[in-house]
Chains A and B, each alone.
Chain A
């Protein structure tokens, strides 16, 4: 029987269990789904499959206004739209500033901005946009999503093979979520560049938290892993690996 320990050497038992759990979690989706880079290779290395998965939802929890969570989400959206497809921005507050998005390399010709007036219209707009196969990414800032609505949005993203990027406040971090990936973004004071600590809270197919400190170059906008400059601290940091223990 497959569950009999004698079929698996002791050393491979845990790895095999991990692989089966990943398969069960992905059982309703094909294993080979198109991957999208987050725009930062170091952050990609934290994720199983080295990137975000099309047809999934990603939550970015920001530590207050000006935390950088929206910036990282927009960069990921830019990468998702590189190979074609629309970007739909669902801007409930009406504060999304297109010139900033253009400065980040977003093609405004391929961007549609929808401004719903209430929560219900916002959720409906997200559902419609995620479901459209020609939409590559949807960026939104939904504050409250009940479990039922969240599940519907997750199914819509799967159906449309769209990447949904939701920037949300830390206050809702404990709410039920159907996002495949949850990241927490906390800014840090620094002397050079914009330092953001990104913590991987939850990711399907990966166990245990991971954290990385990123730095955004003020002049070029390039995002890379921040280095403290101390070789000892770099040696002490464990490398991110696909096969977590």
Chain B
């Protein structure tokens, strides 16, 4: 469905997000990890873009009372997570897949179905051929031959099906009926790197709290190191009684299992927070981690250039970020946008997502002096003196000082599209005063007002 069609249907507006298949897969794998409370073997279907969770619940039903109780509990748990679920339980993966995808009349309603033991053939009989997970072309070919339901297919001798359509069709039928074993590739449950320390009675002294934090970090880093993992993000929670919990996060540039480094970064954050009440419990959780030998990200996108991707640079980034904040230590990239304020974007150096493709900045269209070295956060409206109405300024005032314009270059018209909520229509001028100072001014076309937007170094 195109965006225009959606806009026509949903007149009240809608939110558009680009499809991210990798994020979908990661979310589904995370969900499979959540399902480990119901089955030790939970994974995703083996497709390029998996959309189905598979759980092997052989022998699990008695632990929950019955198969119906197990299915209901799984469905409720997933619904509590905000998911619309269609769940089927059958003898084989193929049969369960077929019933869950094609066995329910309404795709917008959460439903569950339990196929009786040995009842796969009957449950599949009226389902369309697409429920056998066949290629679309094969389904269309079968359709042209008048075959539309699995029951019709099962009436045809297997030899004839094999001669006409090859072995794939028979394999899928055998998987659906349970004649062939299918394997679930389970998602490994994510380890829980959490350490907690209860303090009774609650403690006010910072050095005591610091000692506890040091011990918890030591425990976590030992567990990380044993698995060859390093922490990328920590969350620290201090349970201040009777006030609310105080928490903060620490991000790292590179995964580390070095307790001293983590403690240094946590202490930097501790210095900046105020504890309203004595601390009754300290909890530290590693919320993100990665293999120690892997680079989280490359600071420099040049092949073979790892000279600056060093532990020292990583340590500098972490210390600066730890003290100044994640949004205050950034890396800038140019963007193809005429509006000066959005001609570049900033990215925090911590937890920056890996670049999927090599970024090519827009080619330089400016001479070095075309843009100011300092761009004010907000353009400042200035009083100008002009010779004629709508003319160019000959004098203006900035920071209590009057400047007389000696030379000017422009106009450079910058207009943004009508679709941008805060569009601009400006004529920019570079001016040089009689004292040689240079500024970047613009006239707002809608109002005729003059603004100072930048200063050239």
Contact = CB atoms under 8 A, between A and B. Distances in A.
B308 A108 contact: no
Contact of A95 (B324, B361, B374): B374
Nearest to A136: B308
B255 interface: no
A128 B374 contact: no
Contact of A97 (B323, B367, B372): B372
Interface stretch (A176-184, A198-206, A214-222): A214-222
A190 B438 CA distance: 12
Interface stretch (A40-48, A65-73, A142-150, A227-235): A65-73
Given A115-B328, A189-B432, A102 B364 contact: yes
Interface stretch (A26-34, A50-58, A116-124): A116-124
Interface stretch (B27-35, B142-150, B229-237, B449-457): B449-457
A133 B316 CA distance: 10
Most A CB within 10 A of own CB, among B370, B401, B437, B457: B457
A98 B156 CA distance: 70
Contacts of B330: 112-113, 115
B373 A101 contact: yes
B367 A187 contact: no
B428 to A, nearest CB: 13
A105 B330 CA distance: 19
A93 interface: yes
B436 A190 contact: yes
B329 interface: yes
A8 interface: no
Interface string B305-332: 0011010110111011001100011111
A99 interface: yes
DSSP majority for the B interface? mixed
Contacts of B310: 134
A71 B435 contact: no
A111 interface: yes
B328 A116 contact: yes
B344 A98 contact: yes
Given A93-B374, A95-B376, A66 B324 contact: no
A103 B343 CA distance: 12
A86 B308 contact: yes
Given A64-B401, A67-B437, A128-B316, A97 B308 contact: no
A110 interface: yes
Given A99-B371, A116-B328, A216-B369, A121 B323 contact: yes
Contacts of A129: 316, 320
Contacts of B398: 65
Interface residues of A, number: 60
Given A71-B456, A134-B313, A97 B349 contact: no
Contact of B332 (A113, A117, A134): A113
A interface SS class: mixed
Contacts of A105: 368
Interface string B349-367: 1000000000001001011
Interface in B29-54: none
Interface centre among A64, A96, A109 (most CB of B within 10 A): A109
A112 B331 contact: yes
Most buried by A among B299, B301, B398, B438: B438
B367 A195 contact: no
Interface in B383-437: 398-399, 401, 406, 409, 432-437
Q: Which of A128, A132, A220 gathers most chain B CB within 10 Å?
A: A132
Contact of B369 (A84, A132, A221): A221
B323 A124 contact: yes
Contacts of A84: 307-308
A2 B401 CA distance: 58
A110 B308 contact: yes
A15 interface: no
Interface residues of B, number: 59
Given A70-B374, A85-B308, A134-B313, A99 B334 contact: yes
Given A98-B344, A117-B324, A189-B434, A194 B369 contact: yes
Contact of B373 (A96, A109, A112, A216): A96
B316 A132 contact: yes
Contact of B406 (A65, A70, A124, A189): A189
B377 interface: yes
A18 interface: no
A103 B436 contact: no
Contacts of A110: 299-300, 308
Contacts of A71: 373, 456-457
Contacts of A109: 299-302, 331
B439 interface: yes
B328 A97 contact: no
Given A133-B312, A188-B436, A195-B436, A96 B374 contact: yes
Given A93-B374, A99-B343, A190-B436, A66 B455 contact: yes
Contacts of A72: 457
A104 B371 CA distance: 10
A37 interface: no
B373 A100 contact: yes
B435 A219 contact: no
A113 B437 CA distance: 26
B375 interface: yes
B333 interface: yes
B307 A187 contact: no
A124 B307 CA distance: 25
B264 interface: no
Contacts of A157: none
A114 B332 contact: no
B317 A97 contact: no
B146 to A, nearest CB: 62
A7 B367 CA distance: 58
A115 B373 contact: no
17 contacts: A63-B435, A65-B437, A70-B373, A86-B313, A96-B373, A97-B375, A97-B454, A102-B361, A103-B370, A109-B331, A112-B330, A115-B324, A129-B316, A134-B313, A189-B433, A194-B432, A216-B369
Interface of B: 299-302, 307-308, 310, 312-313, 315-317, 319-320, 323-324, 328-334, 340, 343-344, 346, 349, 361, 364, 366-377, 398-399, 401, 406, 409, 432-439, 454-457
